[in-house]
Structure 1
């Protein structure tokens, strides 16, 4: 038997609000909402869905799993995400490959890199 990845789930104190934020940032659509405790986002460019579940007390500290996203223009995309409510964690890399670590409005860390053939 082989398992497949169905979704990536984030703990949050407001599942609907965070799902709306991620749907807007990724060009996705909120496809499921369950009484404020769970929401799911389908993103055309991702093979899995993003899910957000309400918890009373999110895990403190840096999340151990995060999204690595890619884009055409790193600087423009980072500026757009910051304007939308993301927080800058750190700019990383060198002239051969660079990426930026950000946090979404609920503190979940994710990275954005310019498309370059790296995976």
Structure 2
């Protein structure tokens, strides 16, 4: 067991060419809302008390083809395809599916409207 206070994810911070537009996409996908703006900085609230918030700020530079990090988001078993369709309707691009690499998860990799990769994953029920 670790010593010290528990650590949890509070927010994900994203550099964006258009912070307001990208914040709107993520608010729509995650169910949060744009809860604050200051100049070009935009804050999206967490959907639930134990969820995470997101902050967006201006960054006009190019994005790497293979980012060092990306979000893995989980949906209930049997809903991944519908979640992918919903994300695409909001502006994401479906990149690929990984359905049989390991037995404990299936996932789809997408790109948000600015090309940031994220995954929508589902885990089979235990048993």
TM bin (shorter chain) = 0.7 to 0.9
Equivalenced residue count is 117
SS for the counterpart of 1:51 is strand
**Uncovered stretches (5+) of structure 2, i.e. residues with no partner:** none
Q: Which residue is equivalent to 2:11? A: 7
Q: How far apart are the structure 1 equivalents of 2:66 and 2:27?
A: 22
Please say if 1:88 is aligned against 2:94: yes
Deviation by residue 1:43-64 (Cα, 9 ceiling, x = unmatched):
2245331111111214332221
Query: Could you say if the C-alpha distance between residues 77 and 14 of structure 1 is closer, same or farther in structure 2, counting changes exceeding 3 Å?
Result: same
SS for the counterpart of 1:56 is coil
TM-score of the pair, normalised by structure 2: 0.79
**Uncovered stretches (5+) of structure 1, i.e. residues with no partner:** none
Q: Which residue is equivalent to 1:104? A: 112
Q: Which residue is equivalent to 2:69? A: 65
RMSD: 2.3
SS for the counterpart of 1:43 is coil
2:106–2:123 CA contact under 8 A, matched in 1:
no
Please say if 1:50 is aligned against 2:54: yes
Structure exhibiting the larger radius of gyration computed from Cα positions = 2
Q: How far apart are the structure 1 equivalents of 2:22 and 2:29?
A: 11
Please say if 1:114 is aligned against 2:118: no
Q: How far apart are the structure 2 equivalents of 1:62 and 1:38?
A: 25
Q: How far apart are the structure 1 equivalents of 2:106 and 2:93?
A: 18
